[in-house]
Amino acid sequence: MKLYQSGGARNNLFKLLGMVLLISFLAVFCYAAIYAAPAWEPNVAYKVGDIVTYSGQNYQCIQAHTSLNGWEPPIVPALWKSVSGGTTPTPTRAATATPTRIATATPTRAVTATPTPAFRILPGQLEAEDYDAMSGIQTENCSEGGRNVGWIETGDWMDYNVTVSSTATYRAEYRVASTGTTGSFSLRRGTIVLASYTVPNTGGWQTWATVSSNVNLTAGAQTLRILATGTGWNINWLRFSLATQTPTPTSIITPTPTRAATPTPTRTATPTPTTPGTGPGTNRIIAGYWETWDGIATHPPVGHIPLNSTPLGYNVINVAFPILLSDGTCVLEAGAAPGELPPTPAEVAQAKAAGRKVLLSIGGAAAGIDLNSTAVADRFIATAIQVIDRYGFNGIDIDIETGLVAGPNWNTLSSSQANLIRIINGIVDHYGPGFMLTMAPETAYVTGGTIAYGGPWGAYLPVINAVKNKLTWLQMQYYNGSMYGKDGTGYPAGTVEGIVKQTEALIDGFTIAGSGGVIFSLPANKVVIGLPAAPGAGGGYASPAIVRSALSTLLAKYPNLRGLMTWSVNWDASHGYEFVNNYRPFLDNYGNVQ
């Protein structure tokens, strides 16, 4: 027997090994390429569990939705959570329930860290279990929903990577529970102790109380650590808000204006269709958005329409939109943007003389404003009043679709919410009770609050709450894809069921997610259904047969349902005025709102 191999055999063996290694490498490379998370994109229907990448970070979808610009994963935690690695989400620590909680030392304390930390913005709320690194703790199901951190012993810690928006004094709050009096902890930044706390005996591991104090935080990215200085306590969340910020009320019933003003009485349905400044009486509403630009390329063969060529079936016209400069200046002038051709003051006066109400619509998908700046808000108030005075508009319509996000919780306004309320009150209070106020938010901003409160989801609800007694009506857009009814079930746009369920949610009311049981609702005479005028005008176009069927159902249940809104008059013209010609006589058959 030969105890050696020939050189040729060895070479063949090396070639074979090389091929195996090459094939293995290619297999791994192809697997990674095939299963790499796709980049986040707008206008994509994501389902729960989908993984995307954005700015080098992976995110997992936690709520099914159709993405829009302004809903990028880092800024909508109600829709996405940061995960590490490829397509496998970061595992949740399993916690084994123990009948009696005993602070027994663990021989080797595990330390974990997220490879690519995501910095969350403060002011805001952090779930305790969403740490970026920790030592020794475990998590468990929480009686208040989600999970909490428990099994905490002296020396355990959790790190949270945050970005503090501005150097200021913040109110730091912690949701804690304990069955004893040995619990304590400190909040630290590096070696600096920012504050120390004692955890009270709350009477149970899932019986929660809030401890708090003021802390001074400096602006910028940093890591905050909760270090256990005592044993035997749980924590559910930690929250930071500006120490001078006043939370909004927990009830949706009583609005709290942010600007001093003469109280505005609740609007009634007194027929005063020709009195300047008041609502359009008890007539059923068909409100149309009138485009200030020539959109013939978008909806051929119709482009710009003279204001008073709009069919009289539209008894409310929303002039859309003024140009908004970066400093908040509101401009409505011919040539202010390419193709911009707003009506003249004489044309507005002529429309009003015909018994119609003409409103200035603020916002739109392409007209954003920096709602985080009070200076920008105040500049907008001052210049919008000048525009309204010049043209003689009957009121304003709020159609802000970008830049508005919810606060960290239902009881705390975000700066964008506070400044939008500031804008509305600043303009409406300037003119007094006769001035009209309508709002046209996308569905996610309103009925989206049935399943989540955060980012855009439910973000309009505190705003509506704060100005509810000044609101003439809400004309929510029913054409932004499927959305949730009051039962938390998703219903497709452009269907009888979708139109009915969205309207029922607004009038019957729905519980706002994460609000502690707050119910949002509006009277039927403050609800106007927003639908696209033609295919292509929006994602929820419905044929006249579908709309009439939905309206018949709704008007039988809510005789005072106010009417319809559409995007847009120009789209309707391109479709032979199908919208106004069908629904004006249909609504008129039901008589006036009582």
| Coil, helix or strand at residue 347 | helix
Give burial (CB, 10 Å; 0-12/13-18/19+) of 457.
Answer: buried
Sort strands 285-291 and 563-567 into parallel, antiparallel or unpaired. Answer: parallel
Task: List, as one string, the DSSP characters of 162-175.
Answer: EEESSSEEEEEEEE
Q: CA-to-CA distance for 101 and 81, rounded, in angstroms?
A: 31
Q: CA-to-CA distance for 566 and 572, rounded, in angstroms?
A: 8
Count of residues making up the chain: 594
Give burial (CB, 10 Å; 0-12/13-18/19+) of 348.
Answer: buried
Q: CA-to-CA distance for 228 and 156, rounded, in angstroms?
A: 5
| Coil, helix or strand at residue 424 | helix
Residue tagged 């938390």 (tokens): 488
122, β-bridge pairs: 164
Residue tagged 């369920």 (tokens): 501
401 is catalytic: yes
Inter-axis angle of helices 374-391 and 415-431, to 10 degrees? Answer: 30
Q: CA-to-CA distance for 290 and 397, rounded, in angstroms?
A: 12
Instruction: Tell me if 526 sits within 8 A of 474, measured CB to CB.
Output: yes
The H-or-E segment that residue 290 falls in is strand 285-291
Residue tagged 């997220």 (tokens): 114
Q: Which residue type is seen at 98?
A: T
Q: Cβ contacts of residue 145 below 8 Å, gap of 6+?
A: none
Cα→Cα distances 164→170, 292, 487, Å: 10, 40, 37
Q: CA-to-CA distance for 264 and 427, rounded, in angstroms?
A: 13
169, β-bridge pairs: 216
Out of 129, 153, 291, 401, the active site residue is 401
Q: CA-to-CA distance for 338 and 335, rounded, in angstroms?
A: 6
* Phi-psi domain of 201 (left: phi exceeds 0; alpha: psi -120 through 50; beta: other): beta
Sort strands 184-189 and 192-198 into parallel, antiparallel or unpaired. Answer: antiparallel
Q: CA-to-CA distance for 456 and 78, rounded, in angstroms?
A: 9
| Coil, helix or strand at residue 429 | helix
Cα→Cα distances 586→192, 532, 574, 578, 579, Å: 69, 17, 21, 12, 11
What are residue 291's phi and psi, to 5 degrees? Answer: -75, 135
Q: Which two tokens stand for residue 58?
A: 């992976």
Active-site residue set: 401
